[in-house]
């Protein structure tokens, strides 16, 4: 079993890896310039619709705009969920009454599909 | 360190990394660049879906804003005659020469631009005259070039102008009327736009009676530059004048933030919809329904609003669309969603006259989603979908962005609300050609299909740089592009 200090070290390494991966590659995923995800399942369609209504305006197509790009950031799903639910900095929070858990799951799935391109 | 605490630290660190700590980052708008004429134009720098091709059919235009086709299908464009940055030229309706450079002047305007758009119907052109100095007008241009006003005296002296027009299936001419201000309160930002000094009594005009909440905003008295005097300004009021709680703000027509229509024969004027901010593009769908793009709130002035994406609406006759207190049907005066970072949230200004409508689509914040048209021909593809020109951000004047927003043409599936890029500049990132150092799109402001429906014409306003003092437009950099399917 790892000690507290060991866990902290693992965490810091994780952060450093995230930093090193930040902005790797283009965040563009549009039809003409990249490989947009094939939206073939119902949950991806739900995620795409919710993304368009709530996320697209600050992260157009997952690219940078008012906010930072999403498509080139290797955030794990639980962190995407925490940020959606709690907000951070200039990003607002999206509580349950605005986006239920199933929709958050679908948005995470769509964001991951966008990232893969 | 306990695991939950470690997770929290990790989350905050990672999220800070990912968010790039918004407050510390400087703005990086598409207009925040440098440009040395002449503009390079190269269709190969524009990316389209497979099977489509783009070409420049006219170059060297000065502030073009609209395209239309006469009864023979001949291509015409309007040059605005005015640009943000207080640059004045002569508004013109031009018949585009086949060589792309030599054009015939069909009609000219006076010093009352910007001409914001044009449509051809029943053998005549109709032009929306923005009306910065003399008020907005809808002009009718006869085939011999004779110009007459169908309606005049529209409240266009402010930030936003008279827009459109679109020819309705009922024979009326529909047009948009933008608001005087960003969010209902005249302030220092309006001095920067140039009009507050010219018309210190000008303000937004309500379409129907509304009740004031009594909120007002304090600002420096910018009309007395040597003074530290403070003044308070209420909604729908001249600079420095308050509104008391319960005051009835008198409505009248013509009014700000609305869509109106005029009968080209009787010249009767009617209100169609209100509670809009800057309804710029109007178009009828193949089913005959009216849609409008709306430039939404900026993060500027006494009442800045953060993070409000531009919208596409289906317009319902008599509908109220929420300005100045709602965005996309959401209250901007509740929660933290619309508060500019480090500033209090906007206060509610009026009692809502009805429940605001809900939009079809939300576009990028500051994308300036403008003129658009619907595909009607399977030969072009995507029938029933809308093609929207996005002028692009005007950061930092309208608010900070972390990367250029807009500067492209997007395709909108109005049934699902999904937005797809359609014509964009090539490169690792997004932006206007001047920002990317390429020969592609600069600032698309309008898109319209030709009468056959097989070619989409895109009006590119040209280079307009931005800095903290405002817009820096460059004459003779406008381009008219044509997009069509390969081999058609």
Three-class DSSP category at B209: coil
- For testing contact with chain B, the best of A4, A60, A94 (most B CBs within 10 A): A60
How much is the pLDDT for B308? Answer: 98
Q: Is the pLDDT confidence value at B1 over 80?
A: no
pLDDT band at residue B5 under the 50/70/90 scheme: low
Asked if B103 contacts B478 with a C-beta cutoff of 8 angstroms, the reply is no
pLDDT band at residue A13 under the 50/70/90 scheme: low
Mean of pLDDT values over B123-146? 97
A23 touches chain B (CB under 8 A): no
A61–B47: do the CB atoms touch at under 8 Å?
Answer: no
- Which residues of chain B are within 8 Å of residue A57 when distances are taken between CB atoms? 307-309, 362-365
The closest CB to that of A66, out of B12, B49, B365, belongs to B365
Mean of pLDDT values over B350-375? 97
| Shortest CA distance from B328: residue in chain A | A53
Per residue in A61-105, pLDDT (tens digit) is 999 999 999 998 889 999 999 999 999 888 999 999 999 999 999
Q: What is the DSSP string of B465-487?
A: EEETTEEEE-TT-EEEEEEEETT
pLDDT band at residue B70 under the 50/70/90 scheme: very high
Mean of pLDDT values over B336-344? 92
- For testing contact with chain B, the best of A2, A90, A99, A115 (most B CBs within 10 A): A90
The pTM score is: 0.93
Three-class DSSP category at B14: helix
Supply the ipTM of this predicted assembly.
0.92
Per residue in B291-333, pLDDT (tens digit) is 999 999 999 999 999 999 999 999 999 999 999 999 999 999 9
A16 touches chain B (CB under 8 A): no
B78 touches chain A (CB under 8 A): no
Residue with tokens 């500067």: B407
| CA distance to partner chain B, nearest, from residue A111 (Å) | 14
Residue ranges of A 53-92 with Cβ closer than 8 A to chain B: 53, 56-58, 60-61, 63-69, 73, 75, 79, 82-83, 87-92
How much is the pLDDT for A9? Answer: 58
Per residue in B235-276, pLDDT (tens digit) is 999 999 999 999 999 999 999 999 999 999 999 999 999 999
How much is the pLDDT for B466? Answer: 96
* Residue A48 token pair: 């795409």
The set of residues, in sequence order, having a beta carbon less than 8 Å from that of A21 and lying 6+ positions away, is: A73, A74
A35 touches chain B (CB under 8 A): no
Asked if A110 contacts A47 with a C-beta cutoff of 8 angstroms, the reply is yes
B407 touches chain A (CB under 8 A): no
- For testing contact with chain A, the best of B298, B360, B430 (most A CBs within 10 A): B430
pLDDT band at residue A31 under the 50/70/90 scheme: confident
The closest CB to that of A68, out of B3, B337, B402, belongs to B402
Arithmetic mean of pLDDT over chain B: 94
Least confident piece of the model among B22-36, B109-123, B304-318: B22-36
The whole-angstrom separation of Cα B125 and Cα B215 is: 44
The helix (H) or strand (E) run that includes residue B219 is: strand B217-220
> How many CB atoms neighbour CB B205 within 10 A?
21
| Shortest CA distance from A91: residue in chain B | B337
B9 touches chain A (CB under 8 A): yes
B421–A89: do the CB atoms touch at under 8 Å?
Answer: no
B343 touches chain A (CB under 8 A): no
The closest CB to that of A60, out of B10, B22, B364, belongs to B364
> How many CB atoms neighbour CB B74 within 10 A?
14
| CA distance to partner chain A, nearest, from residue B323 (Å) | 18
B420 touches chain A (CB under 8 A): yes
Alpha carbon dihedral B166, B175, B100, B481, in 10-degree steps, equals -80
Q: Is the pLDDT confidence value at B442 over 60?
A: yes
B402–A19: do the CB atoms touch at under 8 Å?
Answer: no
pLDDT band at residue B279 under the 50/70/90 scheme: very high
Buried b (16+ CB within 10 A) or exposed e, B432-464: bbbbbebbbbbbbbbbbbbeebbbbbbbbbbbb
Pairing of strands B82-83, B408-413: unpaired
- Which residues of chain B are within 8 Å of residue A83 when distances are taken between CB atoms? 15, 18
B1–A8: do the CB atoms touch at under 8 Å?
Answer: yes
Q: Is the pLDDT confidence value at B158 over 80?
A: yes
How much is the pLDDT for A20? Answer: 46
A4–B362: do the CB atoms touch at under 8 Å?
Answer: no
| Shortest CA distance from A65: residue in chain B | B403
Q: Is the pLDDT confidence value at B18 over 80?
A: no
The whole-angstrom separation of Cα A33 and Cα B70 is: 35
Closest CA to A68 of A111, A109, A27: A27
Mean of pLDDT values over B43-50? 97
How much is the pLDDT for A8? Answer: 60
Mean of pLDDT values over B141-151? 96
Alpha carbon dihedral B337, B342, B347, B353, in 10-degree steps, equals -30
Closest CA to B399 of B472, B339, B315: B339
- Which residues of chain A are within 8 Å of residue B416 when distances are taken between CB atoms? 45, 48-49
For residue B328, report the phi and psi dihedrals to the nearest 5 degrees.
55, 35
pLDDT band at residue B60 under the 50/70/90 scheme: very high
Mean of pLDDT values over B395-413? 96
| Percent of chain B whose pLDDT exceeds 70 | 95
How much is the pLDDT for B8? Answer: 56
- Which residues of chain A are within 8 Å of residue B361 when distances are taken between CB atoms? 52
Q: Is the pLDDT confidence value at A23 over 60?
A: no
| Shortest CA distance from A48: residue in chain B | B418
* Residue A82 token pair: 């925490």
Residue with tokens 């209250």: B331
The whole-angstrom separation of Cα B11 and Cα B412 is: 35
Mean of pLDDT values over B386-407? 96
């Amino acid at each position: 079993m790892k000690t507290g200090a060991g866990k902290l070290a693992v965490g810091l390494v994780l952060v450093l890896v995230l930093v090193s991966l930040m902005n790797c590659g283009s965040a563009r995923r549009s039809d003409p310039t990249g490989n947009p995800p094939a939206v073939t399942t119902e949950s991806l369609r739900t995620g795409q619709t919710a993304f368009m209504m709530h996320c697209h305006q600050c992260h157009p197509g997952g690219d940078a705009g008012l906010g930072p790009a999403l498509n080139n950031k290797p955030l794990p799903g639980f962190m995407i969920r925490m940020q959606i639910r709690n907000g951070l900095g200039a990003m607002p929070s999206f509580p349950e009454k605005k986006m239920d858990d199933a929709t958050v799951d679908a948005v995470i799935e769509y964001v991951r599909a966008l990232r893969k391109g | 360190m306990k695991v939950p605490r470690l997770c929290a630290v990790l989350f905050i660190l990672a999220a800070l990394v990912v968010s790039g700590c918004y407050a510390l980052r400087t703005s990086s708008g598409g207009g925040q660049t440098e440009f040395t004429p002449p503009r390079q134009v190269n269709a190969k720098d524009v990316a389209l879906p497979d099977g489509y091709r783009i070409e420049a059919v006219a170059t060297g235009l000065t502030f073009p804003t609209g395209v239309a086709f006469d009864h023979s299908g001949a291509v015409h464009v309007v040059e605005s005659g005015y640009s943000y940055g207080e640059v004045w030229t002569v508004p013109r309706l031009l018949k585009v020469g086949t060589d792309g450079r030599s054009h015939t002047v069909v009609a000219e305007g006076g010093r009352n631009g910007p001409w914001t758009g044009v449509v051809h119907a029943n053998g005549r052109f109709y032009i929306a005259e923005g009306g910065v100095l003399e008020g907005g007008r809808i002009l009718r241009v006869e085939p011999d070039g004779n110009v007459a006003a169908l309606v005049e005296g529209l409240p266009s002296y402010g930030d936003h102008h008279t827009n459109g027009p679109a020819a309705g299936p009922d024979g009326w001419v529909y047009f948009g009327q933008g608001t005087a201000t960003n969010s209902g309160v005249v302030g220092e930002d309006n001095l920067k736009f140039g009009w507050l000094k010219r018309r210190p009594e000008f303000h937004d005009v309500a379409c129907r009676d509304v009740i004031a909440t009594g909120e007002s905003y304090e600002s420096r008295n910018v009309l007395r530059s040597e003074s530290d005097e403070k003044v308070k300004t209420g909604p729908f009021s001249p600079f420095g004048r308050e509104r008391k709680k319960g005051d009835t703000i008198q409505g009248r027509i013509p009014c700000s933030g609305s869509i109106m229509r005029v009968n080209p024969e009787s010249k009767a004027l009617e209100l169609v919809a209100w509670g809009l901010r800057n309804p710029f593009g109007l178009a009828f769908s193949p089913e005959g329904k009216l849609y409008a793009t709306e430039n939404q709130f900026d993060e500027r002035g006494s009442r800045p609003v953060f993070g409000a994406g531009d919208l596409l609406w289906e317009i319902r006759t008599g509908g109220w669309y929420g300005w100045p207190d709602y965005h996309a049907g959401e209250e901007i005066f509740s929660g933290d969603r619309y508060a500019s970072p480090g500033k209090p949230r906007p206060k509610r200004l009026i009692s809502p006259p009805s429940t605001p409508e809900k939009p079809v689509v939300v576009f990028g914040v500051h994308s300036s989603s403008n003129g658009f048209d619907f595909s009607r021909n399977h030969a072009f593809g995507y029938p029933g979908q809308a093609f929207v020109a996005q002028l692009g951000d005007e950061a930092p004047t309208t608010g900070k962005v972390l990367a250029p927003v807009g500067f492209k043409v997007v395709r909108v599936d109005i049934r699902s609300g999904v937005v797809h890029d359609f014509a964009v500049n090539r490169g690792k990132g997004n932006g206007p050609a001047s920002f990317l150092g390429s020969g592609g799109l600069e600032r698309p402001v309008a898109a319209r299909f030709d009468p056959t429906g097989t070619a989409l014409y895109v009006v590119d306003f040209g280079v307009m740089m931005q800095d903290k003092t405002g817009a820096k437009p460059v004459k003779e950099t406008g381009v008219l592009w044509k997009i069509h399917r390969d081999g058609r």
